[in-house]
Amino acid sequence: MNKARLNYVLDAVIGVAFLLSGATGVALLLMDNGGYRGGRHVVGFATALLGLSRGTWSDLHTWASLVMIAGIAVHVALHWKWIVGMTKKMMTSRPRRAQEQVCEVVV
């Protein structure tokens, strides 16, 4: 597999993991966290969303986040030379001073 294809697949995995982590995070926000006696005393308490329990949503969220972290770590490792090179370039370049411009005053 060439480097461009590897980068594409890796970025796709990171993107899918990001979307899954975000979607499961929203699902967890929509579900009540339990509260007193597991929240069963509250009318309309959601114990499941789309047929999945809060524990299942939490597990999906955790695993999607771990896949995303691992993908980002591999992505940084694959681009390490570029990161170091750009950092050196940015640190050693001197800021440009504004060139003095002389304006003639015509009387």
Residues spanned by the domain of 8? 3-92
52: β partners: 49
Instruction: Tokens 């982590």: give the residue.
Output: 21
Give residue-wise pLDDT tens across range 56-105.
989 999 999 999 999 999 999 999 999 999 999 988 866 666 566 666 77
Q: Is residue 99 part of a domain?
A: no
One-letter amino acid identity for 8? Y
User: What's the pLDDT tens digit per position in 3-15?
Assistant: 899 999 999 999 9
Please report whether residue 19 resides in a domain. Answer: yes
In a domain, 39, yes or no: yes
| Domain membership flag for residue 106 | no
**pTM strictly above 0.85:** no
CA atoms of 75 and 1, how far apart (whole Å): 15
Q: Is 105 inside any structural domain?
A: no
Counting the structural domains of the chain, the total is 1
Q: Which two tokens stand for residue 8?
A: 């594409």
